[in-house]
Structure 1
Amino acid sequence: MNNMEHEIYCAGCGVEIQAEDPKHVGYAPPQALEKETIICQRCFRIRHYNEASTVTLGDDDFVRILNSIGDTKSLVVQVVDIFDFNGSWLRGLHRFVGNNPILLVGNKVDLLPKNVNRNRLVNWMRKSAADLGLKPVDVILVSAHKGEGVDRLVAAMNEHRRGRDIHVVGVTNVGKSSLINRLLKQFGESELDITTSQFPGTTLDVIEIPLDERSSLYDTPGIVNRDQILHLVAPSELKLLLPDKQLKPKTYQLNDKQTLFIGGLARIDFVKGEHQPFVFYISNQLNIHRTKLEKADELYEKHLGTLLSPPGKEMAENMPKLDRFTFKVPAGNQDIVISGLGWIALHGSGANVEVRVPKGVAVSIRPSLI
């Protein structure tokens, strides 16, 4: 693709650099090739102009990368988003990585309310991972944004890698590259700055970071989990869905036959049950609208894209049809989870609840995280 004597790779996303075709992935203008640290034009625009890019890897590429990890002897670090644990789970990872140990890292712990018991959260993650078929060698809570837990993560990585390589894996938007940048800056490797953004698929190929003469840390591309609602909004609206500050739970005391809309992205119908609280753990920037169940259809039809937004008007016209999920929520502490959006906690005497989300978005129920 280019006439350069030696292959050069973007320090931001890992893609091979070429200087011939500005429309093709990996392009960098000739003058950029003279710099000590070279990044592609796409990474430059993400960093300096916060411009989205539609370039992503295909499923076959992800499978190839994961399978290649199984052929190595290394420590695998799976990063999940605490805010979206279910939506950010990398399905079937244990089948790809062979006998390599897996260290589970919960990022964005700073988003949770301060009263969350960290030990209980670690135990919850460990049990949830086991239910999903994974038995990690350890569970670490971190905040890539604030640096919390990074020291403990480094200690755990050194303990479990035993001189071997490290592969960091996860779906898009869990903060893998931000976490690696935090590790590098905290321990003096500031010359490498991996491109990070709110847009899915920022890293396009594996990025190798030497740890010593015999081993390296590898940042792999974020794998797209298509059942997350994030992929149905415009790039400019992603910041509304992805929280960047500590969550402020919103509590609604409901009688049955009432409906709550999360913008125009999700609808929660309290069909039957005793008066009880519904506690929403979603981005602080999202609006919730209450109405009677009998008026919910009309409200959605008339106000999707305006009062009920996101999505905005343009995206609303292309919204998939809403799928309906029916849950008989048992008494006690339960969460209804909407992939990529957050969760609704019920702590009452049980309820019949219907949740409607755009077709393809996953909804599930779990024991309460908080």
Structure 2
Amino acid sequence: MINRQETGAKSCAGCGAKLQTASADMPGYIPEAALDKEPPVCQRCFRIKNYNDAASVAVDNDEFLRLLGSIAGTNSLVVHIVDLFDFEGSLISGLQRFVGNNPVLLVVNKIDLLPKGINPNRLLNWAQKQTKAEGLKVVDIVLCSAKRNIGFERVIESIGRHRGDRDVYVVGATNVGKSTLINRLIRDYSDLERELTVSRYPGTTLDAVHIPLDDGKEIIDTPGIVYRHRMTELVPRSVLGALLPDKPIKQLVYQLNAGQTLFFGALARFDFVEGDRQSFSIYASNALQVHRTKLERADELFANHKGELLAPPSKEELEEMPAWTRHRLNIRRGTDTDIFVSGLGWIHVNGAAGALVDIHAPKGVRVLTRDALI
């Protein structure tokens, strides 16, 4: 049997993992009979592309960080892609120390998920403010939707303006749309006939993928950083279809009195504890069911109906997830505030009266307040 080392320099054309025939539950596994196919594709990528099914594989997050840290010793343009729907959850904290003095271009992807009519200048100003608050210095910020081909020409123009005679490293958290955007770059600016594996599963790209450009330089697609503070990393794969929006979000507005609760399936819970009657706007996947009840009944309702009336996930899937943690948030009077739950979406507090709220979410999921996006 050919072992992992004996496959030589062959890498999967879809995810970049080194091909091996020894272990089906490790990255890069390929049946021996498929090794000579061009381009070679590992079994995982084959199943994603043909059956929308991804097997679990063991990927060391320290290896991701080692690859990211190696960028500092290069002369490159770093393109950091973030997900507008999960901005704080997908921004790489401390990116500056990984990339050294290399310039950073921030590409804010998935703007197509926001309701129509949002002023792009407002989005850009908001992204600039949030990026500065995170301590990230960037040469430019570009809004786009790689999937819908919105703003892609501005991405290309900005890369061309800031790249010079450099390679391009593309970095980002899992599932922010890196491979979708790079596939567009390959089709438009390279003779290489290949396509990176694209799916809604976190961690699709498993190793650095080098794509030669026509001018002799390269685009290097790095593995996605796996952040466990994102709900998308904690839920079973069967839940991702309901959690990840694939079309513009429809704003849901609830007029609530203090003492009322909103359940987001069985994934999270919002309690309006104290405050005057006011409206709260929900920005989450249209496929996710929101259920309203009285706060005094919330514990009983969850205990009796989780995984059924309150779903997803199912009862069995809930057992695989961390228990909920309560986050108490005091929304100050007169502020325009979002309550952000990483991977789930956000709740906009519309009233100017202030509010005391509790968010219940799986332990480890990032919950915070921020200046309103919309």
TM-score w.r.t. structure 2 length? 0.95
Task: State the alpha-carbon separation in 2 of the partners of residues 224 and 362 from structure 1.
Answer: 14
1:41 is matched with which residue: 43, 46, 63? 43
Task: State the alpha-carbon separation in 2 of the partners of residues 364 and 205 from structure 1.
Answer: 32
1:336 maps to 2:353: no
Counterpart of 2:365 in structure 1: which amino acid?
V
**Which stretch shows the higher mean deviation, 229-238 or 122-131?**
229-238
Q: Deviations over 1:88-119 (max 9, x none)?
A: 11111111110011000111111111121101
Alignment match, 1:369: 373
Task: State the alpha-carbon separation in 2 of the partners of residues 84 and 243 from structure 1.
Answer: 11
The Cα shift of 1:231 comes to 2.4
CA-based RMSD of the aligned residues comes to 1.6
Q: Deviations over 1:242-271 (max 9, x none)?
A: 000000010000111111111111111111
Distance 1:65 1:3, change over 3 A: closer
Distance 1:19 1:358, change over 3 A: closer
Alignment match, 1:66: 68
Alignment match, 1:345: 348
Query: Any conservation in 1 of the 2:268–2:361 contact (CA below 8 Å)?
Result: yes
Alignment match, 2:286: 284
**Which stretch shows the higher mean deviation, 336-345 or 56-65?**
56-65
Q: Deviations over 1:344-363 (max 9, x none)?
A: 00121211111111111110
Counterpart of 2:108 in structure 1: which amino acid?
G
Q: Deviations over 1:219-257 (max 9, x none)?
A: 011110101111232211101100000000100001111
Counterpart of 1:361 in structure 2: which amino acid?
V
Query: Any conservation in 2 of the 1:102–1:136 contact (CA below 8 Å)?
Result: yes
Task: State the alpha-carbon separation in 1 of the partners of residues 192 and 151 from structure 2.
Answer: 19
Task: State the alpha-carbon separation in 2 of the partners of residues 171 and 56 from structure 1.
Answer: 17
The Cα shift of 1:22 comes to 4.2
The Cα shift of 1:189 comes to 4.5
Alignment match, 2:360: 356
Give the percent of matched residue pairs that are identical in Structure 1 and Structure 2. 51
Question: Within 5 Å, which residues of 2 pair with 1:164-179?
Answer: 164-179=166-181
- Runs of 4+ aligned structure 1 residues displaced above 6 Å come to none
Task: State the alpha-carbon separation in 2 of the partners of residues 116 and 366 from structure 1.
Answer: 18
Counterpart of 2:368 in structure 1: which amino acid?
S
2:204 is matched with which residue: 195, 202, 205? 202
Query: Any conservation in 2 of the 1:173–1:222 contact (CA below 8 Å)?
Result: yes
**Which stretch shows the higher mean deviation, 229-238 or 295-304?**
229-238
3-state SS in 2 of match to 1:299: helix
Query: Any conservation in 2 of the 1:56–1:201 contact (CA below 8 Å)?
Result: no
Unaligned 5+ runs, structure 1: none
Counterpart of 1:240 in structure 2: which amino acid?
A
Task: State the alpha-carbon separation in 2 of the partners of residues 21 and 87 from structure 1.
Answer: 33
The Cα shift of 1:24 comes to 4.1
Counterpart of 1:365 in structure 2: which amino acid?
T
Alignment match, 1:253: 255
Query: Any conservation in 2 of the 1:336–1:365 contact (CA below 8 Å)?
Result: yes
Query: Any conservation in 1 of the 2:77–2:163 contact (CA below 8 Å)?
Result: yes
3-state SS in 2 of match to 1:104: strand
Task: State the alpha-carbon separation in 2 of the partners of residues 340 and 56 from structure 1.
Answer: 22
Alignment match, 2:20: 18
Alignment match, 1:86: 88
Query: Any conservation in 2 of the 1:42–1:53 contact (CA below 8 Å)?
Result: yes
3-state SS in 2 of match to 1:85: helix
3-state SS in 1 of match to 2:280: strand
**Which stretch shows the higher mean deviation, 318-327 or 270-279?**
318-327
3-state SS in 2 of match to 1:366: strand
Query: Any conservation in 2 of the 1:53–1:199 contact (CA below 8 Å)?
Result: no
**Which stretch shows the higher mean deviation, 83-92 or 315-324?**
315-324
Query: Any conservation in 1 of the 2:19–2:29 contact (CA below 8 Å)?
Result: yes
Query: Any conservation in 2 of the 1:126–1:135 contact (CA below 8 Å)?
Result: no
Task: State the alpha-carbon separation in 1 of the partners of residues 134 and 7 from structure 2.
Answer: 47
Distance 1:359 1:260, change over 3 A: same
2:119 is matched with which residue: 112, 117, 122? 117
3-state SS in 1 of match to 2:10: coil
Distance 1:73 1:337, change over 3 A: same
Counterpart of 1:358 in structure 2: which amino acid?
P
**Which stretch shows the higher mean deviation, 74-83 or 43-52?**
43-52
1:295 is matched with which residue: 291, 294, 297? 297
Counterpart of 1:79 in structure 2: which amino acid?
I
Alignment match, 2:52: 50
The Cα shift of 1:171 comes to 0.5
The Cα shift of 1:278 comes to 0.6
